[in-house]
Amino acid sequence: MKLHYIGILRNESQPAHEIVAEKELSSYSRFTRNNYGEFMTLFAKTVAERTRPGQRQDVEEQDYTFHAYGRTEGVCGIIISDHQYPALVAHQLLSKVVDEFLSKNPRSSWATGTPTLSMPELK
């Protein structure tokens, strides 16, 4: 059971924008880490764009499961895990992470432009 990615994306307009993300790429060779990181970001954006406000969904792609939680505030939390990671646990974690993000970052800090914020709690 492994988490590869936790991120929060603005999805109220397309294309979705990655506001904050943490990736665990240490299990990949240093020559392919960038490619895997880009794959995760690209698919996280795609899943976020297809997740409606208030919707939770799980999407399986290759060796990964994308867990998504769309919020009415215009953000979507995404977790990328292996297939063994329990969906219920992933969605509970998503709820907690998105709630913390929204309580610490006012909408004005991420609603416009292409900001990239930090969230040390994700490490």
Name the residue among 38, 102, 110, 111 with its Cα closest to residue 69: 102
How many residues are listed for the chain in this entry?
A: 123
**pLDDT above 80 (res 100):** yes
Structure tokens at 14: 């397309």
Mean pLDDT of 69-94: 97
Rounded mean pLDDT, 96-118:
92
- Which single residue is written with the structure tokens 């709690």? 121
> Which of 120, 122, 117 is CA-nearest to residue 19?
117
Going by pLDDT thresholds of 50, 70 and 90, the confidence category of residue 87 is very high
pLDDT for res 120: 83
Q: How confident is the model at residue 37 (pLDDT cuts 50, 70, 90)?
A: very high
Q: Which domains does the chain have, with CATH numbers?
A: 3-107 (3.30.450.50)
